[in-house]
Each structure stands twice: as C-alpha cells, then as structure tokens.
Chains A and B, each alone.
Chain A
C-alpha cells in the first residue's frame, strides 16, 4: 500500500555539522508534508511543514526540501546542536484525507 518511509533509521553527527534527514513517500496525491521532532518520552513537536506547490521552505536553522518528481522529502538542520538529538518523523497527507501518515522515523544523535 501507499506509505511514507525513511532511508536512515539512525544518523550520527558532530555538533556544529549540518544534518540531513531523508524521507520517501509513495502517494503521488500527497500535498502536505510535515516534519516532527520527538524527544524521548514526549509527544511529537512540529518543526516545519511544506505544501506540494512549493519545493523549499526555511525556518530557523531548518530547511525542508520537497522533490515531487522522485517523491522525496528532506529536512536539513544547520549547525546541529546536542539539543537536536531526537527522533524525527516525516508525515504526509493527501488532499482527499485529513489523516496524516507517519514515516518510520530517524534517530538523530549529536555528539558534542
């Protein structure tokens, strides 16, 4: 069935480096994408979102890139800090549904 998946279950980076977390989706009807950060024992926290009429969106230290041609989504974190250590989930939603579908998640580990 249609699904959202992540390529890398664990990503280890050094403090100060840039991090890139990837997400592939298969539903060509997906038109809204969200990245969440989940710290241990807590609920997911919204980071940034993007609609399908855009290919890039920037926030504070984060950038989301959307490539609809290859159905790929990425989250770039600039100057990664130890506080960025968490599990990151992408979620997608198609226009015909209001229910988001979550990817598997990537654990980001930032070494000081």
Chain B
C-alpha cells in the first residue's frame, strides 16, 4: 500500500532555531499533501494543504511565514518551523492524498514530536 515516510520522528531544538520536517511518498506520487498539528488528547488540526509545484494553502490562523511548506516534487514535501518557540511544541503529521481520479483516500506519516526548549 501507499506509504509516507516522515522524518524526524522526534526533535528537540532551542528556541529561535528552525526545524525541517520531511515527508516522502515511497511508492506513489503525492500530488497533494496535508500538514496537521495535534495537541495532546486532541484531534488533528489542518494547518495547510500543498499541491506539487504550487504554493501551499494555509488554514485561517496559521502563519505562513512561520510554517514554511515546500512541495517541489511529487515525492517530497517539507514543513519548516522557523524561529521556533516553546508554544510551537507539538505533534506534526503529514498526510498524502491518494489519487485514483479524485482523491480516494489519505495515508499518514508517522508524525514528528517537536519540543522547543
């Protein structure tokens, strides 16, 4: 089945630094990638949707200059948290839309636990 590899699984960084999270589709082309943020014991909050080769569409309230999304190829999408602060600490998850005509399903990465100290 379709697999999305997400790295790193855990990262601890100092306040003010930037962190890049990568999601790669291993055996399919991820035309559309969704990026989510999840707080403990809460649901997934959509941050942005990216389509290969075009700018990401950010959800209301998500700072696009802080959460930089790049989807330059059909197999790689990245989320960079710039100038991270402790309040950015969270679980970040990517999800690729599986296309057979329209989008028929979604496969998720394993998530990245970001801790900003």
Q: Which residues of A approach B to under 8 Å, CB–CB?
A: 34, 36, 41-46, 49, 89, 91, 98-100, 102-105, 107
Contact = CB atoms under 8 A, between A and B. Distances in A.
Contacts of B49: 99
Given A44-B93, A98-B32, A103-B43, A34 B105 contact: yes
Interface stretch (B13-21, B66-74, B81-89, B107-115): B107-115
8 contacts: A34-B105, A34-B106, A41-B113, A43-B95, A89-B44, A98-B32, A99-B34, A103-B43
Contact of A102 (B41, B44, B102, B103): B44
A42 B113 CA distance: 9
Which 10 A-B pairs have CB atoms at the shortest separation, nearest pair first? Answer: A43-B108, A98-B103, A43-B111, A43-B110, A44-B108, A102-B44, A102-B43, A43-B93, A104-B43, A43-B109
Query: Residue among A36, A42, A91, A107 with the most chain B CB within 10 A?
Result: A42
Given A43-B95, A46-B107, 13 more contacts: A41-B91, A41-B113, A42-B110, A43-B108, A44-B44, A44-B108, A46-B105, A91-B106, A98-B97, A98-B102, A98-B103, A100-B106, A102-B43
Interface of B: 6, 32, 34, 41-44, 46, 49, 91, 93, 95, 97, 102-103, 105-111, 113
A105 B102 contact: no
Nearest to A95: B102
Nearest to A89: B43
A42 B43 contact: no
Nearest to A9: B41
Contacts of A41: 91, 111, 113
